[in-house]
Structure 1
């Protein structure tokens, strides 16, 4: 009930008191079940993610298509709830795991063993979540903060220091320039899996 009520509240105005008011209970009744706003926000984000991914169909195409479909859907879902996307740190229930289970099934069907499938699913999920985070941070700050930090640090050093990093910065090699570039990590994971399959 707490999570359902919280999901009806605009994320920018979500508070424990707002949930208590919506449910017609004292705030202490909320904190008895939820430790604080951070936990509640993470639960709401996970519930939103689970709902949006519930109907994700990974049965079409080859396993590479399934990997891409899962990663794109997870990232795009997180981007639709930007104030919540940055707070998912734990997996509170099975809803979020159902599409992961479907992806693992596609990888098993392709012949990958349990160890490879486990690492692959973890890496693919990380790429999707990190991609969403990077996009949201760039929207907020105008540039991904890590890239901005690298530029600042390099700018404070002599021109002959960190020359290889300067070379990447000069070519914008540290910044994704298009949606395709943002999936470079995913392409690497797929290529690695293809290499494993070929062996």
Structure 2
């Protein structure tokens, strides 16, 4: 047998090395989950996209509920990171734009909105927060006051987004439906003003009017507080 033949035999006899298993990370899990519709978002479906056993996801994601929460946080942070608050010099403009961005980011969650809670995590969500705080401190608010304002504005924006999601799935907001049901148990001439308010809320789209009103009241009060302190 020639040297070349012996070399070929040795090569063919050598066992093949198995490829390294694909590394699973939270980033890869989220990327795979993005390709799935909400009603398809399960551990098995994500594992199928990644080509791994569902048990391989357990280290990063405990169950389907945790998976959906992870995807909701990621979607929110990505959307919120799109805004640029650096061009807003006045703290009032910063608050308005931030609240509006929170509402819009919440709306993009759609059915995932029930799996998301403030505060949002992730660097993408923290950078706008820092900009809001800086604008408030620069305007003369103390750090604790800036923190309180941030929390209030965040809650207003997030609540407006959740309400928009609820209304998109049903013409009647669930809160309005509850009040209407309670009013139906009373005499027709009872609570006339509340009936008029419910009628308006039930038939007219919000179009951001409630959030604008909330921000007007908040900013007016904050400006008066700042003026009084100076």
Q: TM-score, normalised by structure 2?
A: 0.77
Give, in angstroms, the shift of residue 113 of structure 1.
0.8
1:119 aligned partner: 148
Return the match for 2:91 from 57, 63, 68: 63
Contact 1:147 1:175 in 2 (8 A): no
If you compute each CA radius of gyration, which structure gives the higher value, 1 or 2?
2
Q: Which residue of 2 aligns with 1:10?
A: 37
Rounded to whole Å, the distance in 2 between the matches of 1:194 and 1:173 is 29
* 8 Å CA contact retained: 2:172, 2:202: no
Are the equivalent residues in 2 in contact too, given 1:41–1:84 (CA < 8 A)? yes
Residues 43 and 92, structure 1, Cα contact 8 Å, conserved in 2: no
SS state at 1:32 partner: coil
2:107 maps to which of 79, 88, 92? 79
Partner of 2:59: helix, strand, or coil? helix
Q: What SS does the aligned partner of 1:118 have?
A: helix
Give the number of aligned pairs: 198
RMSD (CA atoms)? 2.2
Q: Is the deviation greater in 89-98 or in 41-50?
A: 89-98
Question: 2:196 & 2:35 partners in 1: Cα distance?
Answer: 48
Unmatched runs of 5 consecutive residues or more in structure 2: 1-27
CA, structure 1 residues 145+7, in 2 after alignment: closer, same or farther (shift >3 Å)?
Answer: same
Higher relative contact order (CA 8 A, sep 6+): 1
